[in-house]
Structure 1
Amino acid sequence: MNRIWNTVATLSFGIILMTGCNKFLEEKSDKSLAIPTTADDFKALLNDWGYVNSDFASMGEACSDDFYLTDEDYSSLYYESDKRLYSWMPDYVTRSLSGGGHEWWHCYKGIYVSNSILKGLDENNLRDRRANEIRGQALVFRAARYLDGIQIWAPVYNRETAASDLGMVIRLDPDMNLPSVRATVQETYDQILKDLAEALPILPVSTISPALPTQAAAHGLLARAYLIMGDYDRALQNAEQSLSFQSNLIDFNDLDEQASFPIPVTNQISSEVVFFTRMYGSNMVNNLDIAKINPDLYGMYQDGDRRKAVYFRADNEGHYLFKGTHMGHSGLITGITTAELLLISAECYARLDDVDKAALTLNRLMINRLNKQSYQPYQFQDKHIALNTVLAERRKELIFRGLRWSDIKRLNRDGASITLHRTINGQNLNLMPNDKRYAIALPEDVIEISGIQQNSR
């Protein structure tokens, strides 16, 4: 056990160095710390979900239109960075370089751990089946981090401009002395797809926990990535592949809607989760006592929709608050679920003009969400009605999952013309479709330390 803790300490030190914090650059490393060399060492790092599964970005969720803050709640936000994020300011001043509120740091912390595992496996010539399984899982975690980050800090994928739009800093080596240079959006997606494709043949079919990636998880992430990119054939293929491994759905008719957190969990994660990652606990998003549900969104849930009671509760002032988490407490997941995969498949079928399969796939989900006594299966004759219906169900189903910001960006790219509105202390704010602020500004301390290029403002 001490060896594993020492390993984590070594990696933590490296992560801090990677951020470029000068005071740590002046410190000498403790050579007594153990260096990971065995498959057990690297597996232990993968099992530390606080490092690899946790702290995915909540910034997009904080900027989206699923919730709002009252003026009192907005004024009570402790950090100026949260206020600026909520009001779509074109810059972002972070709270601290190596801790709370620094989602860029958290993103590259996970990438650093993955890179350290991959390099360690190579340097120690670990090539057996178990080592290859660990390699595949590290590749999935790296891809998941890059896919998460590019939704926040880059423009939406656009075939016309992806080769020139600024994407993520691609790091494939844990060496913190390598310079930081932003890749393009195309190069970032290429790396995500490459990592997942390389991982697939060496991943296990099943694991003891969805916190560890499987073939279903890799296919699920590929489906999500291709959907964002607008490649609906490949998104559909991968969603269906993932569902062929795991298709569990919870019947919301069986849940206690009066419970504080009605969705049942096993080992802290619900049975619908294919791949578990969770959102960083920002004051706005994860504080489910102040994030008020957009009334227009709440109004989309019709009578007989069990999600209306399973997902929401009313506070003493008549606002609706979210409680439909998949963790049995206020923690919010960002990973792949069977519900998301069904919605990806249904959307792709609709876009590819197969409205019958779109309805059939959507109904697999809806029969587990609507009151069975009044349930009427969807039937579609028109492609546009089918697509709009699926997109409406996607928004209702995947609330507080870190996906809405990405959805707004890709739908506006394709002409949806979604405009976001906020009212803060009597001032009306609008975020127009395809505004440059949809690529959230990189933390200013990162720009100062690394010299990488900031997003356009």
Structure 2
Amino acid sequence: MLLFCIVNLCSCEKFLDAKPTNVMSHPNSLENLRALLDYEPPIISSFAGHGELASDDFILDYTGLSYLLPYMKDAYLWEDRGIEGGTWRAGYNSISIANVILESLDRIQGGNQKTRDQLRGEALFLRGWMYFNLAQIYCEPYSISKENNDLGLVLRYDSSAEFKAKRSSLKETYQQILEDITNAVDLLPNIAEYKTRSSKLVALAALARIHLFIENYEMAENCVDEIFIIKSDLLDYNTLKTNDAIPINLNNNIELLNFAESNTVSYLITHASTVINPILYDMYEENDLRKLIFYEPNNLGMKFKGFYHGVKTSAFYGLAIDEMYLIKAECLARKNDVTTGALFLNKLLHHRFKSGYFAEKTYLDNNQLLEDVFKERRKELVFRGLRWYDLRRLNRQSIFAIELTKKVQFPNENKTYVLEPNDKRYTFLIPIEAIDIGGYEQNPR
């Protein structure tokens, strides 16, 4: 009955709704709360794929483009019209579940304190992490060096279906994100029993990513250092079978911190018309094993197969140790510690090249190291939703800003689409349905 009620919650049509059933409104035991958090679809599969569709790592021909759903085509060509609302709805559905957990913990008395702490920590992490991922799609990039008076998200602190609120400021949104996930760290176990649950490692990795994106490099590095005290092992790609359909999976990927995915881009991954951008593929050196483990040829070019969670029909949107090495190297480069930064980057690459073929890299200045870190982020973290987020944050620095172009050969003409750095289209429109129901202010165009 409890799971049935959750399914009802997932299918509810309001954009900021909450508890549509009495069971969902009033869970009466810690076991009920555990069941809510262990029901996986709204917890691990609600991540937006819009940025992946809009990024420059993949190319679709006209045939592939013509089969896309309208909102996917809009995202790919940077012509978003706000017609897709499922991502917004799914994110706020997960936030409502988190709020139900937090409210219920305040109401339900007794029970094991360790269990209560873990449930509270998982709920706080879920809420903060969903806010962060929604902000990457629907809000302007945030930086600790800016005033950040731009529009933020609609912040929900309870699960009432009667809840009404305007959009917060961007600063308020990130204050809530950081508060939720930071508070979760000390409540969670170091390592979760299951990869679908959050843990201290997962929360720290999320904070490392967030602080990197908002340019708080000192805090990002501190989070990585805490992670490496507990876990720092890298997967040696020399131990993988490069000819396997999916060389990396849940059984052999020791780098995996948590399991999360985006089903939004499953079509993009599996369709025969989707090929890797040759510019990206040509970045890999001859003896880089990622060329064999991440890609395979098809009739049109190179096809992606390097699913980091071992699921072929969805994109991996979780957190992993390899990303932490890249964050550490970037943070060190940002404070001009080029020598140490190179050590962390080289250690990661040692595990990616054929044994005996990797030559350690040295750098004369921090900009050289940063350029290589950004290249390795693109090559290592491919199809994890991060390319779009990196473009958004690096556009703020003119030395690293990139103009994106996409060319499409239509039946009667060839068209070139251009996205300039810091274009307003780097922020997607709030879904029209949400605007109509909630009366929220729309993102500028």
TM-score normalized by structure 2? 0.93
Aligned-partner residue type, residue 329 of structure 1: V
How far apart in 1 are the matches of 2:3 and 2:241? 41
Which residues in structure 2 correspond to 1:62-141 (within 5 Å)? 62-77=53-68, 79-94=69-84, 102-125=86-109, 128-141=113-126
Structure 1 counterpart of 2:189, from 190, 198, 204: 204
Structure 1 counterpart of 2:366, from 358, 364, 383: 383
Cα contact 1:263–1:270 (8 A) shared by 2 = yes
Structure 1 counterpart of 2:212, from 227, 233, 247: 227
1:221 CA drift (Å): 0.7
What is the DSSP-based 3-state SS (H/G/I as helix, E as strand, rest coil) of the residue aligned with 1:202? coil
What is the DSSP-based 3-state SS (H/G/I as helix, E as strand, rest coil) of the residue aligned with 2:368? helix
Aligned-partner residue type, residue 116 of structure 1: V
Identify unmatched segments of 5+ residues in structure 2: none
How far apart in 1 are the matches of 2:72 and 2:183? 38
What is the DSSP-based 3-state SS (H/G/I as helix, E as strand, rest coil) of the residue aligned with 1:205? coil
Cα contact 2:332–2:341 (8 A) shared by 1 = yes
Aligned-partner residue type, residue 5 of structure 1: L
How far apart in 1 are the matches of 2:443 and 2:54? 17
1:9 CA drift (Å): 4.7
Q: Partner residue of 2:139? A: 154
What is the DSSP-based 3-state SS (H/G/I as helix, E as strand, rest coil) of the residue aligned with 2:316? coil
1:399 aligned onto 2:389: no
Aligned-partner residue type, residue 225 of structure 1: I
- Residue 342 to residue 270, structure 1, CA distance change in 2 (3 Å): same
Aligned length: 438
1:329 aligned onto 2:311: yes
Structure 2 counterpart of 1:170, from 139, 155, 175: 155
Cα contact 1:359–1:386 (8 A) shared by 2 = yes
Cα contact 2:205–2:319 (8 A) shared by 1 = yes
- Residue 260 to residue 70, structure 1, CA distance change in 2 (3 Å): same
Q: Partner residue of 1:52? A: 43
What is the percentage of aligned positions where both structures have the same residue?
A: 32
Aligned-partner residue type, residue 209 of structure 1: Y
1:344 aligned onto 2:344: no
Q: Partner residue of 1:431? A: 419
Aligned-partner residue type, residue 45 of structure 2: S
How far apart in 2 are the matches of 1:373 and 1:345? 25
1:445 CA drift (Å): 1.0
1:33 CA drift (Å): 7.6
Structure 2 counterpart of 1:442, from 427, 430, 434: 430
How far apart in 1 are the matches of 2:305 and 2:271? 7
Greater shift, 327-336 or 135-144, is seen at 327-336
Q: Partner residue of 1:258? A: 243
Cα contact 2:26–2:104 (8 A) shared by 1 = no
What is the DSSP-based 3-state SS (H/G/I as helix, E as strand, rest coil) of the residue aligned with 2:178? helix
1:195 CA drift (Å): 0.5
How far apart in 1 are the matches of 2:319 and 2:24? 36
- Residue 407 to residue 262, structure 1, CA distance change in 2 (3 Å): same
1:394 CA drift (Å): 1.0
Cα contact 1:272–1:337 (8 A) shared by 2 = yes
Cα contact 1:162–1:184 (8 A) shared by 2 = no
What is the DSSP-based 3-state SS (H/G/I as helix, E as strand, rest coil) of the residue aligned with 2:225? helix
Cα contact 1:297–1:396 (8 A) shared by 2 = yes
What is the DSSP-based 3-state SS (H/G/I as helix, E as strand, rest coil) of the residue aligned with 1:428? strand
How far apart in 1 are the matches of 2:22 and 2:257? 40
How far apart in 1 are the matches of 2:340 and 2:305? 32
Cα contact 1:395–1:404 (8 A) shared by 2 = yes
- Residue 64 to residue 417, structure 1, CA distance change in 2 (3 Å): same
1:5 aligned onto 2:3: yes
User: Can you list the C-alpha shifts for 1:363-419, whole angstroms capped at 9, x where unaligned?
Assistant: 221111011121112222321111111111111000000111110010001222211
What is the DSSP-based 3-state SS (H/G/I as helix, E as strand, rest coil) of the residue aligned with 1:72? helix
1:37 CA drift (Å): 1.6
1:286 aligned onto 2:269: yes
Which residues in structure 2 correspond to 1:271-282 (within 5 Å)? 271-282=254-265
Cα contact 2:138–2:429 (8 A) shared by 1 = yes
What is the DSSP-based 3-state SS (H/G/I as helix, E as strand, rest coil) of the residue aligned with 2:416? strand
1:233 CA drift (Å): 0.5
CA-atom RMSD, angstroms?
Answer: 2.1
TM-score normalized by structure 1? 0.91
- Residue 34 to residue 436, structure 1, CA distance change in 2 (3 Å): closer
Cα contact 1:240–1:341 (8 A) shared by 2 = no
Aligned-partner residue type, residue 8 of structure 1: I
What is the DSSP-based 3-state SS (H/G/I as helix, E as strand, rest coil) of the residue aligned with 1:157? coil
Greater shift, 106-115 or 270-279, is seen at 270-279
User: Can you list the C-alpha shifts for 1:233-283, whole angstroms capped at 9, x where unaligned?
Assistant: 1111111212222223211111111111111323xx833111222113335
